[in-house]
Amino acid sequence: MPRGPAPGTPRLSEPLRQERRRILHAVHDRIEEVAETAVEVMRAEIPSYALQDERFFGDVREQVLEHYRMQLAALVGDRDIAPEDLVFSRAAAMRRARAGFALEDWISAFRVGRQVLWDALLHCAGTSAEAQQAALSLVTPLMRYVDYASTHAAQAYVEYQQHVVADADRERRDLLDQLLIGVAPTRGPLSAAAQAYGIGPRSPMMAVVAVCVGDTRTGDLTSAENGYATSASISVAGPWAGRTLVVVRHGEVVAVPVVRAGMNAEDICAHFEAVQRRLAREGTMLSMGISTVAQGASELPRAHAEARAALDLVPSGGGVAALPRLSPFDYLALRADDLARQLVDCRVRALLEEDRRRGDTLAATIRAFAEADLNLRLAADRLRIHHNTAHYRLRRIEERTGRNPRRIADLLELLVALAIRDGAGEGEDDQ
């Protein structure tokens, strides 16, 4: 860091210089009292400081005194401030960052210290015109010192946080790599990290894999911003307490949420679906695959493979494929290839495509009839239509397709064709 600006003010008359020295010496004589006032104001105005003990405030008091003595000595001698003069402040910044204090709290402490010192200078200056002019000549050098010292401290904060972030990323990646071979760590730092995420050898958990498929802000699907934005959004607590292990890895984001007490797989699915929708509104389109529940770390490799396979079920425009929400029937229909689609009778395919263009009333009737266990009156009630209307729709389906929905085999064929149509339609529409 370059040498700081000289805190003195040039071209002052000798009477003004003498008046400045008088004010500075007067403040120096009561410097411990001024520092104590600054500490009390910090305790009152900075919430995170108010929660600390007396040992902490002893350290703060020493820091304030060091800064005040340095400023007063520099102002009296009109000398430059060098980086080596602020080694004590850099060390204190590291301590605050390590203790978890936010940078804005540290900067607020500088602001309070500056204001209290300025009040003391005005008080010691008195009310004469010459004293007031001498005091005003101190404003610029005081501001320069605070800017220089706070910038120096902020650099220390940023350097420490960069190391913390890098170490945390490395630890998360190492933990995930071990879990993906089916082993939960039982000792050392990785064990502690796993416990922080609620992960144990037999903890029920799921795997979520997300990839970016569209970005209206940058147009760059491979940017680190996408991965870290997704990671940060997923890490926010959902309907459960505790953190979620999230890692940006090989161009994708992998999350391992634990199914905690009082939760089920649907809670996990709903949370990640909400994350996907929120990011989509902000311009980042994601495809997400969500696995079934793994009963312990030994099953997590299988869950991770499931989540990656589920990505193939997501339309090209992004969305969420959650395996816990799918029946085997749904899964097989969504996995249908071109050959399966060709095996659907052309009459069935034509009717279903025409029905989709007209509002899907026949498709709704097929589904309702199946869900009502072939009870036509119950299906009509659920559709809120007259049972004669429902009867007419079934007859029309049979006339157009040659399949009688009242026969189990024919109804099953219609349901499969409908599921294949919907699965293909989602991909084409880029939903």
pLDDT tens profile 192-221 = 888 888 898 899 999 999 988 876 555 555
> What's the chain's average pLDDT?
83
Asked whether 376 and 383 are in contact (CB, 8 A), the reply is no
Domain boundaries, the chain: 14-162, 203-326, 335-425
Predicted local distance difference test score (pLDDT) of residue 251: 78
DSSP state of 4: P
In whole angstroms, how far apart are CA 167 and each of 101, 170, 173, 175?
18, 5, 10, 12
* DSSP type of residue 127: S
376: Cα within 13 Å, side-chain hemisphere: 13
| CA 289 vs CA 53, 203, 292, 332, 335: distances in Å | 47, 20, 10, 16, 14
Residue 372 buriedness (CB in 10 A; 0-12 / 13-18 / 19+): middle
Report the distance separating Cα 55 and Cα 52, nearest Å. 8
Question: How far from the centroid of its chain's Cα atoms is residue 15's Cα?
Answer: 59
pLDDT in tens, 120-140: 999 999 888 888 898 888 888
Coil, helix or strand for 253?
A: strand
Lowest-pLDDT range, 9-13, 104-108, 229-233? 229-233
Rounded (10°) angle between helices 265-281 and 224-235: 140
Q: Give the fold, CATH level 3, of 335-425.
A: Arc Repressor Mutant, subunit A (1.10.10)
pLDDT of residue 8: 45
Lowest-confidence region among 45-49, 207-211, 396-400, 421-425: 421-425
Interatomic CA distance for residues 204 and 14, integer angstroms: 79
Instruction: Identify any residues that bridge with 294 across adjacent strands, giving them in sequence order.
Output: 205
Is 166's pLDDT higher than 70? no
What's the pLDDT score for residue 165? 57
CB atoms within 10 A of CB 12: 16
Q: What is the DSSP-derived secondary structure letter of residue 283?
A: T
Helix, strand, coil fractions of the chain, as percent rounded to 5: 65, 10, 25
Residue 1 has pLDDT above 50, yes or no: no
- Nearest Cα to 92, choosing from 65, 115, 60, 67? 60
pLDDT for residue 418 is more than 60: yes
Q: Does residue 12 surpass a pLDDT of 80? A: no
Inform me whether the pLDDT recorded for 156 exceeds 80. Answer: no
pLDDT surpasses 70 at 334: no
25's tokens:
């010496």
Residue 182's CB: how many other CB atoms inside 10 A? 15
Decide if 145 contacts 81 (C-beta within 8 A): yes
Question: Going by CATH, does the domain composed of 14-162 fall within 1.10.490.20?
Answer: yes
Q: Give the mean model confidence (pLDDT) for residues 40-64.
A: 90
Whether residue 395 contacts residue 369, with contact meaning beta carbons closer than 8 Å, is answered with no
What phi, psi does 250 have (nearest 5°)? 50, 45
Neighbours of 374 (CB within 10 A): 14
The region of weakest confidence among 22-36, 52-66, 140-154, 392-406 is 140-154
Report whether pLDDT(262) > 70: yes
Calculate mean pLDDT across residues 46-60: 89
- Interatomic CA distance for residues 152 and 149, integer angstroms: 5
Contact 260, 281 (CB under 8 A): no
Q: Is 193 exposed, middle or buried (0-12, 13-18, 19+ CB in 10 A)?
A: middle
- Asked if pLDDT for residue 61 goes beyond 90, the answer is yes
Pair type for strands 252-256 and 245-249: antiparallel
Contact status, residue 259 vs residue 268, Cβ threshold 8 Å: yes
Is 103 in contact with 94 (CB distance < 8 Å)?
Answer: no
For residues 77 and 67, give the distance between their C-alpha atoms in angstroms, rounded to a whole number: 15
319-328 average pLDDT score: 87
Q: What is the pLDDT of residue 275?
A: 86
Among 177, 172, 180, residue whose Cα is nearest residue 197: 172
Say yes or no: do domains 14-162 and 335-425 share a fold: no
Q: Is residue 233 scored above 60 in pLDDT?
A: no
Give the class (CATH, top level) of 203-326: alpha beta
